[in-house]
Amino acid sequence: MKLFLITGAGQGLGRQLARDFDQEEVHLLLFGRTFEKLAKTRSEISHAMVDIIDVDLVQYEEVLQKLDRFDFSIYEEVVLINNAATWTGGVSIKEITPQTMREAFDLNFMSAFNITKATLELSSPNTKIKILNIGATASKRGGANMAAFAIPKASLRIFTECLPRELGREKVHACHVIVDGLLNNERTRSISSNLMDHEFIQQESLSSTLRHLINQNESCWTLELDVRPYCEKF
């Protein structure tokens, strides 16, 4: 049996991933901050085992406590998809306070770090662990009013590189997926009503790409992938 942990599973890409991994011999752990949204995702699952966990991923001890009730030793493979993120940009460096930056790090780095650390701690030494960290173009280059978003995202990118280089021999593999464009969902459409369908990244297509990554053989694993709609201007 395989275990899939998906953060941000109450909406958007996380919900799409949950639907696409709905199959026999799969156990889904769906994470989010709103129980009602997670319950809606769960209602769409018909084949996989599923548990929903409404938790603040910034609180490591809370995350560990929630996960500790599951026996990780029974799974032959554990897949963690760190999809949860929050837009924290749009503030100039002069206006960013230390508190604002700490909150940005909590939301866009520490949440992924915490659940990754808990997963590694609880998994059996013989279990294959695959980690996909969903990143952003801002992780590779800064920009005006982007510091509070780009810096935590850059930290996530470097963390992803550290994981297989340190733990690869322990069957831990990781990939940083840069989403270079807007996903096609209700929220992005509401703020980008002038864009056509082909200018968005379709959630179904991105989910398909992530499934391909997960199924890669560890002897030829992708460390970083940059995805974008074909009409994206380079």
Predicted local distance difference test score (pLDDT) of residue 179: 92
Question: Is residue 8, in this structure, part of any structural domain at all?
Answer: yes
Predicted local distance difference test score (pLDDT) of residue 232: 63
Predicted local distance difference test score (pLDDT) of residue 70: 97
Strands of the 2-6 sheet, one edge to the other: 49-54, 26-32, 2-6, 77-82, 128-136, 172-179, 224-227
Predicted local distance difference test score (pLDDT) of residue 209: 96
Predicted local distance difference test score (pLDDT) of residue 222: 96
Q: What are phi and psi of 82, to 5 degrees?
A: -85, 95
Q: In which residue ranges of the chain is pLDDT below 70? A: 184-196, 198, 232-234
Residue 234 to residue 232: CA distance in whole angstroms: 6
Predicted local distance difference test score (pLDDT) of residue 199: 75
pTM: 0.93
Question: Is residue 72, in this structure, part of any structural domain at all?
Answer: yes
Predicted local distance difference test score (pLDDT) of residue 233: 59
Question: Is residue 233, in this structure, part of any structural domain at all?
Answer: no
The DSSP bridge partners found for residue 26 are 2
Helices 147-167 and 98-105 sit at what angle, rounded to 10 degrees? 40
Look up the CATH number of the domain holding residue 108: 3.40.50.720
Residue 177 to residue 185: CA distance in whole angstroms: 19
Per-residue pLDDT tens digits for 118-148 = 999 999 998 999 999 999 999 998 899 999 9
- 106: containing domain: 2-227
Counting the structural domains of the chain, the total is 1
Question: Is residue 232, in this structure, part of any structural domain at all?
Answer: no
Question: Is residue 177, in this structure, part of any structural domain at all?
Answer: yes
Predicted local distance difference test score (pLDDT) of residue 126: 87
Question: Is residue 234, in this structure, part of any structural domain at all?
Answer: no
Helices 111-122 and 147-167 sit at what angle, rounded to 10 degrees? 20
Predicted local distance difference test score (pLDDT) of residue 87: 87
Predicted local distance difference test score (pLDDT) of residue 177: 97
